Amino acid sequence: FRSPSQSHTGNGINGQGTQGTQGQGTQSLNSDPFNLRAEEMAMADCCLGLEIRRTWSEQELVRSFGGRMPPGTPDGMFETWDGTLTCVQVVRVPLVSGADDASLQHTLTQTILSKIVKSQTWLRFSSVSPHEFIIFCWLPFAVEDSVRSHVETLISRVRLLDHRFSARLRLPAEPGTIFPALFACNYDFLSARSRSLSESDISTFVDCEGGDGDEDEICQWDITWDWAEMAEMAEMAEMA
């Protein structure tokens, strides 16, 4: 993989990105104002304190294959001046007020695993090789430490399979700015229709950069997937 500063035509990145983009509008595939604010605030959080060289919007990162657009397109990507490339996938977690900790843990687990599985699909289509892929989770209300610890343990196991992924849990100062009044009202219905995910659904990623093997060696992925299942997962993600 070549850094975006070196080549944009050889690594699957369309366009040159945008320099000095902090504070500019988000080019999202979902124009809902609540979603736009969620993505803009998440990108600002991820870029905080970093010297950003350029960023890419979700529209610039869209890929297609055989006339289909796979799920998992990052909501944004940025490169710092030291060449570090970071992808960000933003999700507003459909937590229900009054649910017990076990239910909250289950919802967070399914939400994060769904985003990771779909993000891996996008990575297979593209030639982008980020140093980090952040699953940025907005929470509608504060959760107990036990719920946060559950997510930390989940991610530590996920990173044994694909070290690029991490998760951030954030509570907005004013949840109403990104969570509409009836947010997550259909989550139970949609989740009941979908297959439950587990860590076994995550593909193992082997980083070939810096290896001692043959220069022509190609990192192998299992790139078979069920389009119907992906469409079902995308339907659940629409509320996010």
Distance between CA 217 and CA 213 in Å, rounded? 7
What is the band of 195 on the pLDDT scale with cuts at 50, 70, 90?
A: confident
pTM, full prediction = 0.76
Q: Dump pLDDT digits (tens) for 43-100.
A: 999 999 999 999 999 888 886 555 567 778 999 999 999 999 999 999 999 999 999 9
Q: In the prediction, which pLDDT does 62 show?
A: 83
What is the band of 227 on the pLDDT scale with cuts at 50, 70, 90?
A: very low
Q: Dump pLDDT digits (tens) for 64-75.
A: 555 567 778 999
Q: pLDDT > 70: what percent of the chain? A: 69
Asked if residue 220 has pLDDT above 70, the reply is: no
Q: In the prediction, which pLDDT does 210 show?
A: 47
Q: Which residue has the higher pLDDT, 98 or 8?
A: 98
What is the band of 38 on the pLDDT scale with cuts at 50, 70, 90?
A: very high
Q: In the prediction, which pLDDT does 105 show?
A: 97
Q: Which residue has the higher pLDDT, 187 or 166?
A: 166
Q: Dump pLDDT digits (tens) for 109-132.
A: 999 999 999 999 999 888 889 999
Q: Dump pLDDT digits (tens) for 142-152.
A: 999 999 999 99
Q: In the prediction, which pLDDT does 19 show?
A: 58
Q: How far is CA 63 from CA 41, 47, 117, 174, 215, in A?
A: 24, 24, 16, 34, 27
Say which range, 1-15, 35-49, 60-74, 202-216, has the weakest mean pLDDT.
1-15
Residue 134 · residue 88 · CB < 8 Å = yes
Mean pLDDT of 138-142: 97
**Sheet containing 85-92: order of strands:** 18-19, 52-57, 76-80, 85-92, 132-138, 165-170
Q: In the prediction, which pLDDT does 218 show?
A: 42
Q: Which residue has the higher pLDDT, 173 or 127?
A: 173
- Other beta carbons within 10 angstroms of residue 49's beta carbon come to 5
